[in-house]
Structure 1
Amino acid sequence: MTFRPKMTAFTDGIRALSDLRWRAWAGVVADLWHAEGRLGGVGHYVSPDPRIVIFLKDGGKAIRLADSPVDVAARPAAQITYIPAGMPLWSQIVQPGEFRHIDLHFDSVALAQKLGERFGMAAATAALARPVTLDGVPEIDAIAHLLADELQGDGLHDLYGEGLVQAILGRVLAYDQIALAEPLRGGLTPHQMRRVTDFMQANLHRRVSIAELAAQIGLSESWFARAFKQSNGETPHGWQQNLRITAAKAMLGRDDATLVGVAAATGFADQAHMTRAFRGVTGTTPAAWRRGHGG
């Protein structure tokens, strides 16, 4: 199955000047953008997969990038930026005009496994969780222009495009950066934890598997389970159970909510199942909690 990136983007004051040119290879999709920005134009971007953004011909000098909307005008865009999975990015146009850039979207699971096989999962995970910015790297600039030509042309053998992408990846995520990377304290990064929690919240109606959760941030099941427990002192199942109890409390505060309805809406098998879980976490039953909190 071909990997398909799931980028979420919002822009205002930025428009494409030509059709998007793109190619897909094993575990990666390459996009070539030719756009125009007006002064003050803004953008917000987030993706569940890691990506590399490369500006061509100093196009990044007209743009500011930041990982929060408050600091959006703080720093110029680097020539090359590696953005970890789940990390939000804000942009602002400070000089009107045209610019071109290449976006490389990587399948997070495939990339983590590939690097993990060589460097170990702990080092690979730590390296992939850290953003990278590079300027003045002529070899990447040269490769990026070859890749841009490939995206605009009829397309040579897949080995050519894949080779260009691998060369860029190998230079951006340098060997020593991965091999010497130490696991981040606490196991999962805030971005990873937020993505996993959001996925749990969106699936409170069912029990999600370790495999599903690990896939959200590109980790193996065993590494994810250890890192999650290290981060929270809780298993993923216990964490989702607490999310269900929190959601149940909010619903119990409504006069029109029945215990059966609350149990069904928060993913419990039935009212009795919710009562057992609720008592285990809070020390009381849902009905008693509701009476004590004015529901």
Structure 2
Amino acid sequence: MSHRNRPQPLLVTEPIRRVEAGPWAIELLPGCAYSARYVATHAAIGFAFDSQRGLHAIGSDRVHPFVATPNSLAFVPAGCDVLSESSDGGEYLRVIHTEGMEWMGDRAFNNRIDPQAITLALRMRSALLRASLDDDWEVWAFALAERAKEHDALSAPLQGSITHSRMRLLDEFIDAGLEDPLSVQAMAGVLELSEGYFMRAFKSATGKSPHSYLIDRRLAKARARLRDSTASLSEIALTCGFNSQAHMATAFKQRLGVSPAQLRRG
């Protein structure tokens, strides 16, 4: 879950992107290994774009494994003692109200799936990757805080659906086969589920379709390779499962609002 003063990674990663708007500080943390221990000086809302696993202790002295569900909300209240570490991390949006968010309560949570929060987080990520004078940060940040406050937001997937262990198995299958075409039928088969049931359960668990999630995994790998290798864009496209450099560029523009070349330039 929460985050995150990260150590210097071994590989070159995307920079931490940050904007300040009124009482809000918004950060986009790149997917990389991290280890952090701190007391939260301000309440923070988080959004995990990727699956993430590691160890944490949130408001407790008990350290235990955690799994962050992709496309999920989290919240850490002010004054909460936080220990969190992950060997690979995952892209993460953090929104802090520097003047306090007492109305958010004092209970930490993670793994809430909320369709409106997903839409807001994706919009904010795209804006952080390509800053514009038209960005309405205060409105977006407040709206995300309102979604985190909602009590009817869904929590982590239940047993019998897409459990954390099944999600890990699926991630490993996808990452091992990213260079090749991967069908929804194949992903369902890995979990020994029918295709129809798998599609419904996955959407309920992550807020996205399996196909959309597969594109997210391809983009995440491509973004990492843009920074940690000197491979050409066409080589990166093919090793990440895109049909061509043009196909990859289209996915970047549609999902992130920037081109691969723009991200590589930094």
TM-score, length of structure 2 as denominator length: 0.48
Higher gyration radius (CA)? 1
TM-score, length of structure 1 as denominator length: 0.43
